[in-house]
Structure 1
Amino acid sequence: MFKHILIAHDLRDTADLALRRAAQLAQQHNAKLTMLHVLDPNQSEQDQEKARQALDRSLSQYAPLGSELRVRSGVKPSEVVLQQLNELGCDLLVLGAHHQRHDFFSGTSLDRIARRCPVALLLVARGDSQPYQRALSAIDFSLCACSALAQAYQALPATAELHAVHVFEPGKGSPKQIEEQLQTQRGLIDQLMKDEAQKLPAEGPTLSHSVQQGGILRCLQENIRSREVDVLVLGSHGRSALSQALLGSLAQHFLHRAPCDVFVVR
């Protein structure tokens, strides 16, 4: 599926974890891998040379043969990353998650990249570099959510399991009315998943789905824990106002508080 993967490396240990995942995906999809580092123009030449040497070591240790290292300079690393994505024609951007504030992946920079990234974005929060085996996808009736499901299906190995969960948040009504609403949602999602499955390749991960009642954030967090999910799949926004409010805020939340790897699709 992927043809050219860009990994933005900031020299932290978490960046090497992201590089290992990017390398695994590059080998799985027979894709080209480019590693990008953005130098601070205010750094001394000595510090810049140390950075290049460290990047060379990481590339030699973790990346497949033929991978490319690009070192660029810029005051705003996020702008350089987005520029390189367009210049190289990449179809996946890989970043390492950061649980502490850092200039490269500060909240503002990460939000800017996620909002303007023209391709799928993978945020790596886990150290495991084995092929993904358990994926969870948040599904609703938006084109964006369906596109995210389809891209995840094609990105995962055939041995993986991809579970789509639709979270139903009932409105006011009697218990009987709420149960009727829930049954209606299940029928609609059953049909949606049947239609989407027909568009997917015959060979691929095992696909399943469920409709659950409650708050969407809590339901996703519980599923991540109970299913021991490797990667969470999200659409960055939806077509409808409701979907945009749910999935847009979800993507932002999980990118900043990633309990597992997060795959965000426009």
Structure 2
Amino acid sequence: MYQHILIAHDLRDTADMALCRAAQLARQHSARLTLLHVLAAGQSTEQQEKVRQTLDQSLTRYAPPGSELRILAGKPSDVVLQEVQNSGCDLLVLGGHQQRHDLFSGTSLDRIARRCTVPMLLVARNDSTPYQRAIAAIDFSLCACSALGKASRLLPAEAELHAIHVFEPDKGTAKQVAEQLQMQQGLIEQLLHDETQHLPPDSPKISHEVLQGGILRSLQEQIKARRSDLLVLGSHGRSAFSQALLGSLAQHFLHKAPCDVLVVR
């Protein structure tokens, strides 16, 4: 269960889209909702009041009663990260879009994703119905296991959560590769068995599979084939897969998200 959701809103259409998702999750979890806006430098008092009125309208239209509005000044990424700490929230929601913007520019978004101490949800789909089909990329790191658990608690009980481990075999004969694959499958099965013991009884059903090939292509194909509405990623760890997530893989999915993306440290 999530208890306090923080949504960073930059006044764009995608921010209201993210607000709708944050509001849906707040209702699902009976959680508090706080909307944060970071003022642009040099705004006049009149402009600031107009911003407040616009945000109040969005809260009234989309958010549950009692939701809080916070308007602060400063460098956007720093303000967001500091407010995560100060507010005690347990989920940060951002709206994703392709156009460059200070809060969501490449370096700022990557910095927030790397340093955010709570799960970060990037909303890329204009759909605020409860999640139904999620994919979690897993390896043997603690971070990936944490991401699986956080996703299980985020999803409704009737949703499907499909865990995928992408296996790139060492060079060898066909028999040796088959043996490596069998070993990976056994290890993943044991890992998931152990992890599911810690989940609430009303958690969504978790299926899994081990795939051979490149990580990026495998995830792209699975997201498309399963019509997934959420991709779950661990953001760091010690394994080769987790190191890849820190670099090009996480960056790719954060900036070219085919669906909503949940990033967990």
Pick the TM interval, shorter chain: over 0.9
Instruction: Give the corresponding residue for 2:244.
Output: 246
- With normalisation by structure 2, the TM-score equals 0.97
The alpha-carbon deviation at position 102 of structure 1 amounts to 1.2
Matches within 5 A, 1:1-266: 1-74=1-74, 76-238=75-237, 240-249=238-247, 250-266=249-265
In the aligned structure 1, how far is the partner of 2:190 from the partner of 2:111? 36
- With normalisation by structure 1, the TM-score equals 0.97
The secondary structure found in structure 1 opposite 2:206 is strand
In the aligned structure 1, how far is the partner of 2:49 from the partner of 2:256? 33
In the aligned structure 1, how far is the partner of 2:113 from the partner of 2:73? 21
- Structure 2 counterpart of 1:226, which letter? A
The alpha-carbon deviation at position 150 of structure 1 amounts to 0.8
- Structure 1 counterpart of 2:235, which letter? S
Unpaired runs of 5+ residues, structure 1, are none
The secondary structure found in structure 2 opposite 1:186 is helix
> What is the total number of aligned residue pairs between the two structures?
264
Deviations 1:40-61 (A, max 9, x none): 1312222222211111111110
In the aligned structure 1, how far is the partner of 2:149 from the partner of 2:111? 25
- Structure 1 counterpart of 2:241, which letter? S
The secondary structure found in structure 1 opposite 2:197 is helix
The two structures, once aligned, show a CA RMSD in angstroms of 1.0
In the aligned structure 1, how far is the partner of 2:192 from the partner of 2:114? 27
In the aligned structure 2, how far is the partner of 1:106 from the partner of 1:265? 20
Comparing 246-255 with 144-153, greater Cα deviation is found at 246-255
4+ residue runs of structure 1 moved beyond 6 angstroms?
none
Comparing 6-15 with 98-107, greater Cα deviation is found at 98-107
- Structure 1 counterpart of 2:71, which letter? V
In the aligned structure 2, how far is the partner of 1:93 from the partner of 1:263? 10
The alpha-carbon deviation at position 175 of structure 1 amounts to 1.6
Comparing 253-262 with 44-53, greater Cα deviation is found at 44-53
- Structure 2 counterpart of 1:83, which letter? Q
Unpaired runs of 5+ residues, structure 2, are none
The alpha-carbon deviation at position 84 of structure 1 amounts to 1.1
In the aligned structure 2, how far is the partner of 1:105 from the partner of 1:89? 22
The alpha-carbon deviation at position 204 of structure 1 amounts to 1.5
The secondary structure found in structure 2 opposite 1:102 is coil
- Structure 2 counterpart of 1:172, which letter? K
In the aligned structure 1, how far is the partner of 2:199 from the partner of 2:51? 43
In the aligned structure 1, how far is the partner of 2:170 from the partner of 2:48? 57
